[in-house]
Amino acid sequence: MNRDAQHSEQLISLYGGTTPVRSRWSYRADEPFTVATAFQTDADHWVEWVFARDLLVEGMRGPVGEGDVRLAPEFSGPRDALVMEIESPDGHALLVMDLEAVQDFLDATADLVPLGAEGDFFDVDALIAEITNV
């Protein structure tokens, strides 16, 4: 098991279905339960969101999410898409991404840490040490 393994991809998202937005998707084997995505808002400014990989997996099949991140597949346009709605006290965004590109990213994460095997890669002792500063 390579706990240092990581995978990153850049995807082009569409904000409101019309404006292209560059996004950076990352997954690390030493943080096996989460994915991180960052959206470029200015030339040198990115807004990052971290959420459960399981949420992304479920969002590929149907609508999910009750909090700040909500996902749903969309099969009615010219290309299958994943719609991501993110919300914070600072604002709200609706982003549309190519479903196949997101699936490719998920497949790459599963190559690093198979779905359902996250516990084998999670270092509980390191988390406790980080929380307690021991």
Please name each of the domains of the chain with its CATH number.
6-132 (2.30.31.20)
At residue 133, the pLDDT reads: 78
Whether 42 contacts 24, CB under 8 Å: no
Whether 53 contacts 38, CB under 8 Å: no
Phi, then psi, of 70 in degrees rounded to 5: -130, 140
What confidence tens digit (pLDDT) does each residue in 9-46 have?
777 777 666 778 888 999 988 889 999 998 888 778 88
Whether 41 contacts 52, CB under 8 Å: no
What confidence tens digit (pLDDT) does each residue in 48-75 have?
999 999 999 999 999 999 889 999 999 9
Which amino acid, 97? M
18: its two tokens: 């019309």
